[in-house]
Amino acid sequence: MTTVDPTREPEEESAVETARGQLERAAAHLDVDQGTIERLRQSTAVYRVAVPLERDDGTTEVYTAYRAHHDDVRGPYKGGLRYHPGVTQEECVGLAMWMTWKCALMDIPFGGGKGGVVVDPKELSRGEKERLTRRLAQELRPVIGPMKDIPAPDMGTDPQTMAWFMDAYSMQEGETCPGVVTGKPPVIGGSYGREEAPGLSVGIITEQALAYYDTDLEGTTVAVQGFGSVGANAARYLDDAGATVVAVSDVDGAIFDPDGLDTNDVEDHDETPGMVSGYDAPQSLSNEELLTLDVDVLIPAAIGNVLTATNAHEVQADLIVEGANGPTTSTADRIFEERGIPVIPDILANAGGVTVSYFEWLQDINRRAWSLERVYDELETEMLSAWEDMRTEYDSRDVTWRDAAYIVALRRVAEAHGARGLWP
Ligand code: NAD
């Protein structure tokens, strides 16, 4: 086995480079036609639009937006729409590729898409954000739609953004089209349980992974980086199920209690931003210290690229479950593989989000709302089924959990390409 070069700066690798590397690793285990691999290395299309906005002071500003369509062989493109100053075309393509694999692994009939506007939403008033969103919906209208491409909230966007987007699209279509976006408020066709879903799926998958390694959840120690939508829901799920959540964090720092925190008492990012590090706990830590705590399970659930060549050798957890998208760089991944620390990949662990988005789309096109209980039941069924598919692959080959997940996903996408063929 080759030893990882710790001097390689993993942050140099872009999302699309990482995504292509993962595709090639999975392809090496499957007999997939080279032409199909080449198609999957590329995006079907990337749209770049200029979005003019009349600011509150009467001036006009023009923002750049992208929408990447990676692959739709299994169904409409699906993926988030972010408002962030760091959005790039390359990033959208890489994130769209991840969505293709995530949807295929979950066996839901969507392909991969992603998009965003290069803008700092904190610099916009509510009215400006609404006008920008409506104009964006109009600019993207030719390439999106309930059967074409279905955006969802992401960094800097939320259910209200989706409501404006859906309204603008519907006005132009001349009919109410709730299925054009997911992550809407329930009053206009959003699904109950969508907000909690990615955190719940992280919890469900952590339980499965612990059972696989014959570890009792009761008393298992857990550290969670990021106490927002994903992190807080995952931490509370595991806490309620009997785990001992010893540390959680937000952007300002971490809190630590070796006897276990009461995660239902700590306010999350949405309830009150900044409350985590201000909580009265026995010990405060930095985010970096949280990542290297001696715990049974580490759940990075804040941002990408936090487990890197710099800290991967210091991580003491026995199991890592990825709550955030892309928290482990490729170099760190190789280090964990060498050290024998299993990493359960994001495309499975946090896939509860896109799964309940799929449920939302089903409810919208059928015009029939599901109860919260039904959403939770069906989510659990889908997560356990995808876990079993990944586990079967893991047990039958000498691969990492991530490779096993990508093999399942790539096989499904490649088989669909084989069945449909190349037109003309
Ligand atoms: P969020 O904004 O609700 O919460 C993020 C949390 O991370 C907050 O507690 C914040 O203080 C903390 N944080 C921010 N920057 C940090 C930093 N530099 N260091 C440490 N902590 C930091 O976000 P979220 O929706 O929970 O998303 C978290 C991750 O999960 C992201 O990678 C996101 O792409 C991914 N994800 C989210 C969803 C979803 O539907 N919410 C679905 C799948 C994946």
- Per-residue pLDDT tens digits for 217-259: 998 999 999 999 999 999 999 999 999 999 999 999 999 999 9
Atom 13 (ligand 1): residue with closest C-alpha?
A: 251
**pTM, rounded to two decimals:** 0.95
Pairing of strands 283-285, 253-256: antiparallel
Atom 28 (ligand 1): residue with closest C-alpha?
A: 302
Atom 40 (ligand 1): residue with closest C-alpha?
A: 353
- Per-residue pLDDT tens digits for 269-311: 777 877 898 899 999 999 999 999 999 999 999 999 999 999 9
Residue 2 reports pLDDT greater than 50: no
Average pLDDT over residues 199-222: 97
Average pLDDT over residues 325-352: 96
Residue 1 reports pLDDT greater than 70: no
pLDDT of residue 12: 57
Residue 193 reports pLDDT greater than 80: yes
pLDDT of residue 70: 98
CA of 163 to the centre of ligand 1 (A): 22
pLDDT of residue 214: 98
- pLDDT level of residue 180 (50, 70, 90 thresholds): very high
340: left (phi over 0), alpha (psi -120 to 50) or beta: left
- Per-residue pLDDT tens digits for 16-64: 988 999 999 999 999 999 999 999 999 999 999 999 999 999 999 999 9
- Per-residue pLDDT tens digits for 404-419: 999 999 999 999 999 9
Residue 363 reports pLDDT greater than 70: yes
CA of 232 to the centre of ligand 1 (A): 10
pLDDT of residue 270: 78
Q: Which atom of ligand 1 is nearest to the CA of 226?
A: 7
- Between the alpha carbon of residue 243 and those of residues 16, 246, 418, the distances in Å are 36, 9, 45
- Secondary structure of the chain in the HEC alphabet? CCCCCCCCCHHHCCHHHHHHHHHHHHHCCCCCCHHHHHHHHCCCEEEEEEEEEECCCCCEEEEEEEEEEEECCCCCEEEEEEEECCCCHHHHHHHHHHHHHHHHHCCCCCEEEEEEEECCHHHCCHHHHHHHHHHHHHHHHHHCECCCEEEEECCCCCHHHHHHHHHHHHHHHCCCCHHHCCCCCHHHCCCCCCCCHHHHHHHHHHHHHHHHCCCCCCCCEEEEECCCHHHHHHHHHHHHCCCEEEEEEECCEEEECCCCCCCCCCCCCCCCCCHHHHCCCCEEECHHHHHCCCCCEEEECCCCCCECCCCCCCCCCCEEECCCCCCECHHHHHHHHHHCCCEECHHHHCCHHHHHHHHHHHHHHHCCCCCHHHHHHHHHHHHHHHHHHHHHHHHHCCCCHHHHHHHHHHHHHHHHHHHHCCCC
Q: Which sequence positions are flagged as catalytic? A: 114
Question: Could you tell me if 348 and 105 are in contact, meaning their C-beta atoms sit under 8 angstroms apart?
Answer: yes
Structure tokens at 41: 């290395």
Domains of the chain, earliest start first: 44-177 (3.40.50.10860), 197-344 (3.40.50.720)
pLDDT of residue 384: 98
pLDDT of residue 14: 83
Tracing tokens 């140099």 back to the chain, one arrives at 12
Residues with C-beta less than 6 Å from any ligand 1 atom: 198, 225-231, 249-251, 269, 287, 301-304, 323-325, 350, 353
Ligand 1 pocket mutation pick from 277, 303, 328, 379 by most atoms within 8 angstroms of CB:
303
Q: Which atom of ligand 1 is nearest to the CA of 326?
A: 32
Q: Which atom of ligand 1 is nearest to the CA of 276?
A: 9
pLDDT of residue 74: 98
Residue 3 reports pLDDT greater than 50: no
pLDDT of residue 272: 80
